[in-house]
Amino acid sequence: MVNSKFKKISQILVKMRIRFFIKIYRLLLCTCFTISLISCRGGGSDTGSQDNSTSFSAGESSPVVSDNASIEANDENPSITATQDFTLFSQAIVNGELLDEYKCEKKVNGVENSLPLAWSNMPDGTKKLALTMNGVDTGNSYLLLWDIDSSLSAINHGEANNGPWFIGPNKDGTTIGYTSPCSPSLGSHEYVLTLYALSATPSALPSESTINITNDILTDAIKDVTIDTTVLSFKSVVLDTSDGLNTTSDRCSVIKSSIIDAGFGDEVTVNCDTEYANLHSSTYPEHDLMNGITGSNEQIPVPAKDYSSPIRLNSTALSPGLYTTRDAALGVAVNGVPIYDYSSGGELDINNWIYDSNDDTNALGQLDDCGGHAGRGDDYHYHKKPSCMIEMMLNKDQNPILGWSFDGYPIYGDQSPDGTPNGSLGVCNHIEDETFGYRYHTSNAPPYIIMCLVGETDSEKLDSVRVQPLQERTSGQPITVNNLSFITDGNKRTLGYSFGNSEYFISYTSLEDDCYSFESKTFEDGGSLKKGIYCR
């Protein structure tokens, strides 16, 4: 008993000695203006880069401390240095890496649980605190907090959305709240938390939680009252957990379900191998076609039997400068119709892209009332939101998946899967998605639908993903037509239209072996009657 008391007294004396020598050392440093790891708080602090790399041994969590607590080197915390710097830490981050349980946290009552955070050794004169969390990979803001009182030293797990402070928008800018780190692809993704010690409440910041604030607005508003900052960087690592059995993988099942649930299981079949879900279709939809077009290249939609769309099962995101564009399909709708970008002028240069209405198929009147038209191979495809297909979908009221891009990411309509606005879209009409990594959306303004691919693709494989044109049938140049109509009568399909003072038409009937008997009178052919059998 006596030994135990003596041991405790000894420990107290040791701690007192440590505190005494630390104070003497700090005084000497301040007097001599010596650069040190210990900050000299009396005459203001350096707001430049600091060493905030407080470390913890493997398997340990960083301690949560209360106000004015002093983190000391001792037997219980051997890896904590006695620098007494302004420090931010989290029990969710071990050895610089985010623990799995805190990644991609699901929403509870519409709110995602924020990371547990704590801090110590606030500089003298601190009245308020502000906190930001940003993705290094994407530049997105995951958390914006301000007006945090200096009497606080921690934010508990899930508390960021409900504490006595103000909070900004989630990553997508669609609602007030925190966004959980959810890396979009395999590999290591970096995030950074920054805690700001402020000498006053910035008058430029709103006195309420709002989505009308950004990281730049917040940091600009607090720059003149910032005493010091502390940074906590961490990585979220996404491992490849694929078992190679993609015939039964989750992604393959989701792709199949998106087609069946929409009601197109009879028109589209799906076969999965170890890399791709292959969607087989005729590219010819059951809804109305071609009506509403005023700019025609004198092509008519003809089925393309056994067309195959390869959808990657394991998606990997690319850096923005490496996005893929094509003068061909970028994906496929759940009814089996290919999806193109909006352009009529060939492949887009996404790195130097400037919208030009002269290349806009929609602005040029080349699209029908359903968002598509027949291309130069007499193949029907979409260039914007497939509105008629959506009306046919059995699950249209559930914000369903409308299609799949060749890089493996889903395509949605104008709203997010949960029914909220789709947020701020990237150049490819894409946005990060907590389930798939990324997703694409349709939009009322250009580019209307997917414009490029943000994920990896196999260029050689995609080169073969084209509808074979009808042999020996020529394509025309776009002309402005009137009274265009497309009529189906049994096995015969007819496209009629007028140009100038003349009437023109193209009609065909189906034969065997993917061949068709054509009869036409077109402006391209000088108005002469032309007949022939054409095959794909």
79-126 confidence digits (pLDDT tens): 333 346 999 999 999 888 888 778 776 555 456 789 999 999 999 999
292 part of a folded domain: yes
pTM: 0.57
Q: How many domains does the chain have?
A: 4
Residue 404 has pLDDT above 80, yes or no: yes
Higher pLDDT among residues 280 and 57, named by residue: 280
Q: Do 2 and 56 reside in the same domain of the chain?
A: no
Q: Do 386 and 414 reside in the same domain of the chain?
A: yes
Residue 79 belongs to a domain with what CATH number? 3.90.280.10
Asked if 150 contacts 129 with a C-beta cutoff of 8 angstroms, the reply is yes
243 part of a folded domain: no
Q: Do 31 and 47 reside in the same domain of the chain?
A: no
Measured CA to CA, the distance from residue 159 to residue 133 in angstroms comes to: 15
58 part of a folded domain: yes
Q: Do 31 and 178 reside in the same domain of the chain?
A: no
325 part of a folded domain: yes
528 part of a folded domain: yes
Residue 87: φ, ψ to 5°: -135, 135
Asked if 191 contacts 125 with a C-beta cutoff of 8 angstroms, the reply is no
Domain region containing 494: 479-535
Closest residue by Cα to residue 293 from 366, 381, 387, 376? 366
Q: Do 417 and 497 reside in the same domain of the chain?
A: no
Q: Do 423 and 528 reside in the same domain of the chain?
A: no
Q: Do 267 and 305 reside in the same domain of the chain?
A: yes
Question: In whole angstroms, how far apart are CA 375 and each of 28, 324, 367?
Answer: 80, 21, 10
- Among residues 205, 238, 271, the one where a domain terminates is 238
pLDDT in tens, 29-76: 334 433 333 333 333 333 333 333 333 333 333 333 333 333 333 333
Among the residue ranges 232-236, 243-247, 284-288, 317-321, the one predicted with the least confidence is: 243-247
Sign of CA dihedral 401, 403, 405, 411: negative
pLDDT in tens, 521-534: 999 999 999 999 99
Among the residue ranges 4-8, 42-46, 126-130, the one predicted with the least confidence is: 42-46
Among the residue ranges 79-83, 148-152, 341-345, 457-461, the one predicted with the least confidence is: 79-83
CB atoms within 10 A of CB 210: 14
Closest residue by Cα to residue 94 from 240, 241, 237, 229? 237
474 part of a folded domain: no
Q: What distance, in Å, lies between the first and last C-alpha atoms of the chain?
A: 96
Q: Do 296 and 419 reside in the same domain of the chain?
A: yes
Q: Do 164 and 261 reside in the same domain of the chain?
A: no
Q: Do 197 and 259 reside in the same domain of the chain?
A: no
471 part of a folded domain: no
Q: Do 295 and 410 reside in the same domain of the chain?
A: yes
Q: Do 218 and 286 reside in the same domain of the chain?
A: no
* Chain mean position to CA 348: 21
419 part of a folded domain: yes
